[in-house]
A and B are shown apart, each in its own frame.
Chain A
Amino acid sequence: MRWLTGFTLGLLTAVGGFLDIGDLVANSVVGSRFGMTLAWVVPVGLVGLMLFTEMSARVTATTGRGTFDLVRERLGPRVGLANLLASYLITFLTFAAQLGGMALALELASGIHYLLWVPVAAAFVWIVLWRLSFERMEKTYGILGLALVVFGVALWMLGPDWGVLLEDAASFAPPAQEGPAVWWYYAIALFGAAMTPYTVLFFSSGGVEEKWGPRDLATAKVNVFFGLPLGGLLSLCIMACAAVVLMPAGIQVSDLGQVALPVVSVLGKVGLIVVILGFVAATFGASLESGLSAAYAVSQYFGWRWGKALPPEKAPYFHLVIMVSLLAGVLFMLTGLDPITVTEYSLVFSAAALPLTYLPIFVVANDRGYLGDRVNSRFTNILGSLYLVLLCAVSVAAVPLMVYTKAGQ
């Protein structure tokens, strides 16, 4: 029975944890501008995420070590440092975007301007990171995040013409009024949203915190192979909702209210309450995860004591990095930068930096010195190599496309 509850909870966590402000915004923007024509990106990103998350779960369960711990070891101090800087900056940008997203969701609930909510949201995040145990933290927001299932319900009640949606999804071409450059630009943003690097970083370090051994590998795999696809399905629902409601009305998504609009249009006030609950839970969870990931990366590079399992007094540098990142994140958002823009930028920069996170995982997952006979199978390696080529192509194209399309205008 305990095994069953542990299993269900893990699964729910994976579903709730997959969605963050990046997925909410990217899927909604894409749905409202391009209909379902970019739906193919979600499964492509999802398979990649599953592939590399499973690898890092295997590495963590076998060696008891987090991703960044191995990055410096395998890449050396110089390249490792460059990797750390890039990863930290991107995780920080993602983190700031989550804080902004949470503030926007709270504005939606209260009517109080989001800038006033930013410090409050950050204070909540800090209290949880300072005091709550790892497991309790993970489960709470994972389950509340499931409120986003309301997008699935709304889509069902909207009763769209499924045939048209499918036809759109299979067309593999931008709709008439949009050019190919912008279409590809948003494909990259969506890909960045699905494969967000902090997810893997958090997953592997979280495994170390929960002291995974080889016996936990089966549970972790179930979570990866069932939980993440359910999360992906939810993000497709968000895209479809936007495609059905927002696109025909010509509404451009520029804040969270418009993301929620399709749900509100069919489910009314109850829908609004549930969707706001889901927004807050998803962004709150993602702020915790990305904030921790930033501190995990730095601590693991330098070999400091780290982890939420230790009292803060015993892991001072780790908590110092968390506090400094939080403070910097608050100041960054208080400059008045639009949270939705910050989110879109964080997605594209994440996409540009994808190989930095995933290449070292791939190298280590093939090393018998670490994994013995649990190294990658030939199938995993073929698929992994294909994905690395794809990641490099995305990485090279991301920033030039951003400049060329003026960030998707």
Chain B
Amino acid sequence: MSDRDDGAVFRIGFTVLDRQIVDAEGVNVAKVDDVEFTWTSGELPAMTALVGDTAALGPRIAGRLGGFWETVLARLRPPDEEPTRIPVGDVERFVPATVLSTPAPRGMRPLEDWLGRRVLARIPGGRR
């Protein structure tokens, strides 16, 4: 992570949140909608994962719209699905986009994948 090696100040709001996550093959994975911190007693809190979850945008949009946003999108998620977590260790660099050293985690966007596989792929030319 170049930003740390330089010893430059690392601002999460500026460098991490809302950046595009791109996997090792250059495919768009998600936006960094939220970040996860872990705090073990006796140690400093540390950023452990990036969260790609459109529902998590709700509190960040704030207000009544934000609340509505969070509720609706969280309900739309299948019950056994967790929001996508990407461990910080998988991140190769943060600037200008968040690039991962690994392929995208599988099955992280069930609805999008279903739509592609079951609907669009069946329209002639959908697979090209």
Contact = CB atoms under 8 A, between A and B. Distances in A.
B: interface residue count bin: 20 to 34
Contacts of B125: 130-131, 312
B35 interface: no
Chain A interface secondary structure, helix, strand, loop or mixed?
Answer: helix
A72 B61 contact: no
B93 interface: no
A300 B29 CA distance: 11
Given A316-B112, A316-B116, A72 B31 contact: yes
A221 B33 CA distance: 35
A369 B16 CA distance: 13
A69 interface: yes
B120 A369 contact: no
Contacts of B60: 76-78
Task: Choose among A73, A131, A319, A369 the residue with the greatest number of B CB atoms under 10 Å from its CB.
Answer: A73
A73 B57 contact: no
B31 to A, nearest CB: 3
Nearest to A74: B18
A212 B19 CA distance: 20
A134 to B, nearest CB: 12
Given A77-B61, A303-B30, A313 B18 contact: no
A79 to B, nearest CB: 10
A156 interface: no
Interface in B28-78: 28-31, 33, 52, 54, 57, 60-62, 66
B123 interface: yes
B20 A65 contact: yes
Contacts of A304: 28, 112
B30 A319 contact: no
Interface string B95-128: 1110000000000000011011101110101111
B88 interface: no
A301 B115 CA distance: 19
Contacts of B123: 130, 312
Given A311-B127, A311-B128, A370-B96, A317 B27 contact: no
A20 B121 CA distance: 33
Nearest to B58: A77
Interface residues on A, range: 20 to 34
Contacts of A95: none
A64 B95 CA distance: 12
A311 to B, nearest CB: 4
Nearest to B121: A313
A392 B62 CA distance: 27
Nearest to A319: B120
A313 B126 contact: yes
A302 B96 contact: no
B34 to A, nearest CB: 10
Given A72-B18, A81-B61, A313 B116 contact: yes
B91 interface: no
Nearest to B69: A81
Give the residue among A311, A312, A315, A316 with the most B Cβ atoms within 10 A: A316
B62 A65 contact: no
Interface in A60-100: 63-65, 69, 72-73, 76-78, 80-81
A312 B20 contact: no
B28 A73 contact: no
A113 interface: no
B86 interface: no
Given A72-B31, A303-B30, A304-B112, A313 B117 contact: yes
A106 B113 CA distance: 39
A314 interface: yes
A305 interface: yes
A130 B122 CA distance: 13
A44 interface: no
B86 to A, nearest CB: 12
Nearest to B29: A303
A306 B126 CA distance: 14
B120 A312 contact: yes
Given A69-B20, A312-B125, A313-B127, A302 B31 contact: yes
Interface of A: 63-65, 69, 72-73, 76-78, 80-81, 130-131, 300-306, 311-317, 319-320, 369-370
25 contacts: A63-B97, A65-B96, A72-B31, A73-B20, A76-B18, A77-B57, A78-B60, A78-B61, A303-B21, A303-B28, A303-B30, A303-B31, A303-B52, A305-B28, A312-B120, A312-B125, A312-B127, A313-B116, A313-B126, A313-B127, A314-B116, A316-B116, A320-B115, A369-B95, A369-B96
Interface of B: 18-21, 27-31, 33, 52, 54, 57, 60-62, 66, 95-97, 112-113, 115-117, 119-121, 123, 125-128
